[in-house]
């Protein structure tokens, strides 16, 4: 005879980028729900009955959570006492190990970034839109910096040992989705999917369709940091308007 069920309320957080939302999905999908991941880990606690997480708040695909909650019932084998709350937390966290992360090769990214500096035809690094035929693809990248960053959410994940990196570009102007394509290409270099020489080759091709599929960075990590003005240009504008 099994021990009686014990009900727990748990609080959890997650990066939603790789999940189809928090709720359970069919296991044959390429992107599953956070609930699938947690319930699979919870079976390592060897319950008599499979553990079901009853999620309090639904989140959509790609959405993160700093604090979501769920209740679950755990029934252990005969003679085994209910998990103490600290024991349960430690056990779940142990089995909810971070998914394998391919650490970025930052030196390779920095080598690749050199090819983006200066004046080039960035046709491969822009997405097509209605303005494409009327705008020159030539742009000048004045600065590309790749450096460690504290990250806006890093203090919520200190125990995970995550590293945050910041890529900063400076130019007089950018093409449509140019920055997202440059970031995605550099990250692909860091992951070993491209080499620094591939960046040079992409520039030389000058064809938007040649950009690697799925390599464009998502908009959620993009920030407009600042807009700067040259004093001499401002003086010219004032004079022209007088």
Catalytic positions are 60
- Between CA 144 and CA 170 the distance in angstroms is 7
Cα separation, 191 vs 48, in Å, equals 42
Nearest-Å Rg of the Cα atoms of the chain is 25
Within 13 Å and on the Cβ side, how many CA atoms surround 165? Answer: 15
Q: How many residues does the chain have?
A: 242
- Name the residue among 119, 235, 122 with its Cα closest to residue 175: 122
**Cross-strand pairs, 69:** 11
The C-alpha angle with vertex 228 and arms to 227 and 230, in degrees rounded to 5, equals 150
């Amino acid at each position: 005879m099994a021990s009686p069920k014990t009900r727990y309320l748990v609080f959890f957080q997650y990066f939603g980028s790789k999940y189809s939302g928090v709720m359970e999905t069919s296991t044959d999908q390429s992107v599953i729900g956070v609930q699938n991941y947690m319930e699979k880990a919870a079976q390592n606690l060897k319950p008599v009955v499979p553990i079901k997480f009853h999620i309090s708040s639904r989140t959509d695909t790609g959405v993160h959570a700093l604090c979501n909650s769920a209740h679950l019932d755990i029934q252990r084998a005969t003679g085994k006492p209910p998990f103490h709350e600290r024991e349960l937390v430690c056990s779940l966290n142990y089995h909810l190990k971070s998914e394998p992360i391919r650490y970025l090769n930052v030196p390779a990214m920095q080598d690749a970034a050199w090819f983006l500096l200066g004046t080039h035809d960035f046709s491969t690094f822009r997405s097509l839109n209605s303005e494409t035929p009327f705008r020159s693809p030539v742009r000048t990248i004045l600065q590309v910096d790749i450096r460690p960053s504290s990250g806006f959410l890093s203090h919520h994940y200190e125990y995970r040992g995550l590293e945050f990196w910041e890529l900063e570009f400076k130019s007089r102007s950018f093409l449509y989705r140019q920055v997202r394509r440059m970031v995605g290409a550099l990250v692909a270099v860091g992951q070993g999917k491209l080499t620094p020489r591939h960046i040079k080759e992409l520039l030389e091709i000058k064809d938007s369709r040649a950009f690697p599929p799925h390599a464009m960075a998502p908009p959620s990590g993009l920030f407009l940091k600042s807009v700067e003005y040259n004093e001499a240009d401002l003086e010219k504008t004032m004079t022209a308007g007088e």
